[in-house]
Structure 1
Amino acid sequence: MACSFTVWSGAYLLPKRVEHSDSILPAAFQAHHFFMEQPNWPDRILLLLRQGRAAQAEQELHRVLHADPNDAHAHALMALALLEQHRNEEALLHAQTSVGLAPEHDFAYYLLSLTQQRLQNTEAAREAIEQALSLDPTDPNYHHTLGILRFTQGQWGAALRAAEMGLAYDPEHVDCLGLRARCLARLGRSEDAASSLSQALHYDPDDAGTHADAGWVALETGKHKEALEHFRNALRLSPTSEYARSGLVEALKARYWLYRAFLRFTVWSENLNGMARRVLFIGLYILVRFVPLLLPLYLPLVFMSWFADPLFNGLLLLNPYGRHALSDEQRRQALGFVVVLVAATAAFTVSSLAHQAWLGAIGLGLLAAIFPLMVTLRPRVPKRTQRWALAATVALILLGLLGGGLQLVAPDSQAHTGTMGLLFIIWLLFIWTTAMS
């Protein structure tokens, strides 16, 4: 399984998205009836995919499609092979082609749902998997996928119902058991969650996804040491598991008491619906305005909401074990945070000591740009959000530079005042739109 994060006042929250490991092939997947009428080549392709040889499977499928470009089965498996290689846009084209050629086959819709999910098109993914379920309501993999999407949206009860529906058709389906445990933990039923995980491990003690599920459940219930062991076991069984790797990173950061406290708060806040979280955010802001004594508690919360991830990922860069656990995207985000923060601090320091006000304007632009920059560098951010954040980052840096230049040549001009005012407006607009989205 893999995970992603949502935003509360710009914050990273605990994983809400639960995809099964780095492999699209579910643990319980067998040769689907979609392929039963075909020659032996689908079995060969599935074997290659199970062996992690997606590139070789792709080559075989190119030969099949060259002979018959309208083979819906080949297009479906091509989507599967491309998803295994994280070539999601190409996979989407083949999944859509397969659906167009064989709209009566449920497996094509299942692959389309997985592809849309990878592309973070949640609504399209839900529609596709519901279509697959309408064609075959007995496949537990389909119920598991629907449960994943419900879990992504914070609908713990609906996700639990989907997992249990899958278990009604296959009581030993470890993916559904793992998802059930995640949902039960979020609903405060930790004993039932532990029982579900025990069942899954009994049925398949070497399933990396189940060990990672156990790690996430432990982490969300404040047991970071236990979580570390589970994630290490998962990575021992599946060294390339993104779901386990991201969990290991969170567990390593949870060794710091400040991050651990913030983690507990975010788990609690995720049990609120979207509107309640917005009311909480606005309510805290208003409360601090009337009770200034709460400011020392409020400011660290706001800071952690925006910068907990890059800050503590930066600390993991100093740890040899943590450094290897971080993904390339996490390392880039941490380094970007450190570089811009150091540059802004240096500009403010020199401005203060050397009485160079123009450097202060540049420092202000850099400091403001850290907020959208962290969103730009955040892993798995929707493209639209990323583009908006990148535009805001560039605008704030340029306005800071322009403000510094105007401070040098015309410090008291309306142009300088207007530039710095525009900088503040763009920053405030970005903060509020991100926090309320």
Structure 2
Amino acid sequence: MSHPGLARAQLLMDRRRFRLAEEELRRVLGDEPENGVMQAYLALCLAEEPARAVEAMDTAIRATLHEPDTPFTWYALSLVAARRGTWEHARKAGLTALSLAPEMPELLVHMAELMARRDWLPQGLEFAERALAVTPDDPRVLMTAGTLRSRLGRHAQAKADFARALERAPENHAVQANAGWSALRRRDPDAAIGHFRTSLRLDADERGPRVGLLEAMRARNALYRVFLPAALRFYWFQPNLRWVAVALAVALIMYATFVEPAWLRLVLRALIAATAVFVWAARPLADLVLLRDPAGRTLLDRTARTVSILVGVLLLAGSILGIAWTLGAPRGTGLAAILAVLFTISVMGIQQPAAGWPRATYVVYLVLMAIPATIAVLHHARRTDAAGTWVGIAVGGLAFSDLLAEFLPRRR
């Protein structure tokens, strides 16, 4: 481990000069081809380039074959496998490393983070607590434990962990950013904003704190805070659950037919519809409010601003049409109101494809979908036999738009 070539390679890796570090390691391996530690470090360098992921894995595996009793070779294999997304391989390699070095803090933290990435939170916390027992004052260990406790809903313990981490590393941008996410989970947007701003001051190029700051500014809206857990869940698991919400809302509204008196039935239907809409549209509606804030306008990109305005316009149009239909407007008005609201789900998908032809393709598709929607409204108003067919085409086409967004190259 004290080889001068390795020391130079480590310094280059710390400075993210991975190609130069690779050259240094290959020079050493030319003289010592069976040096497993050198091969492990080489694998970590190669893993920084996604196109060389297979080569990185092969190199990491060779390192463990040459030095199977060295914890670091298995640790490196676990890191490379995790980066490649082969989670079970990463887990097994990490456990093998732990069997050789059960109190290695960075390895315990790695296993905790690995479990967290797979949403195995209790198991991850066990590793984090083991790391705390070894190094109770290490900021990274405290940050990892605090993040896991926060995600498990243990907010008081998480807050204490981050307080200790920040005492020891107030200028660590990662600790500040994770403290911001923890504050956001316990619905303290003002504290979260402070942490995210500090993180961005320390490292302005990090995207995570910028996303967190925007989320915290949205969470200042009391209504958004109410729907925040559901909104985040529907955001990550789109498109299917949004349409499940639509189906559930329609079923509840139909069931409300049996509610008497009529005014109570009307109020109940309105509440069901509003709740379903806010679950899937809480984020763009919060962005619409943020447009009034200069800082919010700066943080929102042009696509997010456009989507929030379109969603607001569609929901306003749907509300007006729905009220008009309730007051006795022509038959097609009710369907037009429903389709306007459903269009908001598809419009929100504009942010998902990458800029350029993928997003343009998606937008053109949505514009074209307005044609069958319009035809469906006209047929429904005239009570023609083709009305049901066109309604099915319109709704099915809107549902397909989310699947289209999944297949198109995604925004990074």
Which bracket does the TM-score occupy, shorter chain normalised?
A: 0.5 to 0.7
- Give the deviation of 1:101 after TM superposition: 3.7
- Give the deviation of 1:257 after TM superposition: 1.4
AA partner of residue 227 (structure 2)? F
- The whole-number CA distance in structure 2 between the counterparts of 1:260 and 1:325 is 19
Q: Work out whether residues 57 and 80 of structure 2, in 8 Å CA contact, stay in contact via their aligned partners in 1.
A: yes
Q: 2:20 aligns with which of 33, 53, 60?
A: 60
The root-mean-square deviation of aligned C-alpha atoms, in Å, is: 5.0
1:125 maps onto 2:87 in alignment: yes
- The whole-number CA distance in structure 1 between the counterparts of 2:350 and 2:59 is 34
- The whole-number CA distance in structure 2 between the counterparts of 1:95 and 1:314 is 45
Seen in structure 2, the aligned counterparts of structure 1 residues 284 and 175 have a Cα distance that, compared at 3 Å, is farther
- The whole-number CA distance in structure 1 between the counterparts of 2:389 and 2:63 is 60
Partner of 2:193: 228
- Give the deviation of 1:162 after TM superposition: 2.2
Seen in structure 2, the aligned counterparts of structure 1 residues 181 and 75 have a Cα distance that, compared at 3 Å, is closer
The correspondence of residues 241-260 of structure 1 with structure 2, limited to 5 A, is 241-260=206-225
Give the stretch that moved more between structures: 405-414 or 199-208.
405-414
Q: Work out whether residues 246 and 276 of structure 2, in 8 Å CA contact, stay in contact via their aligned partners in 1.
A: no
Q: 1:401 aligns with which of 371, 392, 397?
A: 371
- The whole-number CA distance in structure 1 between the counterparts of 2:107 and 2:250 is 43
- The whole-number CA distance in structure 1 between the counterparts of 2:43 and 2:153 is 43
Q: 1:48 aligns with which of 15, 19, 22?
A: 15
Q: 1:316 aligns with which of 290, 297, 302?
A: 290
Partner of 1:74: 42
Seen in structure 2, the aligned counterparts of structure 1 residues 419 and 233 have a Cα distance that, compared at 3 Å, is same
Q: Work out whether residues 200 and 206 of structure 2, in 8 Å CA contact, stay in contact via their aligned partners in 1.
A: yes
AA partner of residue 401 (structure 1)? I
- Structure 2 gaps of 5+ residues are 34-38, 66-72, 235-243, 260-264, 406-412
AA partner of residue 20 (structure 2)? E
Seen in structure 2, the aligned counterparts of structure 1 residues 335 and 138 have a Cα distance that, compared at 3 Å, is farther
% identical equivalent positions: 23
- The whole-number CA distance in structure 2 between the counterparts of 1:242 and 1:158 is 28
- The whole-number CA distance in structure 2 between the counterparts of 1:376 and 1:100 is 42
- The whole-number CA distance in structure 1 between the counterparts of 2:248 and 2:206 is 40
- Which SS does the other structure have where 1:239 is aligned? coil
- Give the deviation of 1:252 after TM superposition: 1.0
Higher helix proportion (structure 1 or 2)? 2
Q: 1:377 aligns with which of 344, 351, 358?
A: 351
Q: Work out whether residues 318 and 340 of structure 2, in 8 Å CA contact, stay in contact via their aligned partners in 1.
A: no
- Structure 1 gaps of 5+ residues are 1-32, 50-56, 83-88, 270-278, 381-386
Q: Work out whether residues 392 and 430 of structure 1, in 8 Å CA contact, stay in contact via their aligned partners in 2.
A: yes
- Give the deviation of 1:391 after TM superposition: 9.8
Give the stretch that moved more between structures: 393-402 or 126-135.
393-402
- Give the deviation of 1:152 after TM superposition: 4.4
- Give the deviation of 1:295 after TM superposition: 4.0
1:216 maps onto 2:177 in alignment: no
- The whole-number CA distance in structure 2 between the counterparts of 1:113 and 1:390 is 36
Q: 1:332 aligns with which of 303, 322, 325?
A: 303
Seen in structure 2, the aligned counterparts of structure 1 residues 158 and 135 have a Cα distance that, compared at 3 Å, is closer
- Which SS does the other structure have where 1:143 is aligned? helix
Seen in structure 2, the aligned counterparts of structure 1 residues 196 and 379 have a Cα distance that, compared at 3 Å, is farther
Partner of 1:383: none
Seen in structure 2, the aligned counterparts of structure 1 residues 261 and 176 have a Cα distance that, compared at 3 Å, is same
Partner of 1:167: 132
1:424 maps onto 2:391 in alignment: no
Seen in structure 2, the aligned counterparts of structure 1 residues 59 and 95 have a Cα distance that, compared at 3 Å, is closer
The correspondence of residues 62-141 of structure 1 with structure 2, limited to 5 A, is 63=23, 73-80=41-48, 82=49, 89-90=50-51, 92-104=53-65, 105-116=73-84, 121=85, 124-136=86-98, 137-141=102-106
AA partner of residue 108 (structure 1)? A
Seen in structure 2, the aligned counterparts of structure 1 residues 76 and 396 have a Cα distance that, compared at 3 Å, is same
Partner of 1:306: 280
* Cα deviations by residue, 1:163-182 (Å, 9 ceiling, x for unpaired): 11222333233222122223
- The whole-number CA distance in structure 1 between the counterparts of 2:205 and 2:10 is 24
Q: 2:111 aligns with which of 116, 124, 146?
A: 146
Seen in structure 2, the aligned counterparts of structure 1 residues 227 and 423 have a Cα distance that, compared at 3 Å, is same
Q: Work out whether residues 184 and 216 of structure 2, in 8 Å CA contact, stay in contact via their aligned partners in 1.
A: yes
- Which SS does the other structure have where 1:102 is aligned? helix
What TM-score do you get using the length of structure 2 for normalisation? 0.66
- The whole-number CA distance in structure 2 between the counterparts of 1:182 and 1:255 is 22
Q: Work out whether residues 346 and 399 of structure 2, in 8 Å CA contact, stay in contact via their aligned partners in 1.
A: no
- Which SS does the other structure have where 1:132 is aligned? helix
AA partner of residue 275 (structure 2)? L
Larger Rg: 2
Q: Work out whether residues 126 and 149 of structure 1, in 8 Å CA contact, stay in contact via their aligned partners in 2.
A: no
The correspondence of residues 405-416 of structure 1 with structure 2, limited to 5 A, is none
- The whole-number CA distance in structure 2 between the counterparts of 1:287 and 1:366 is 19
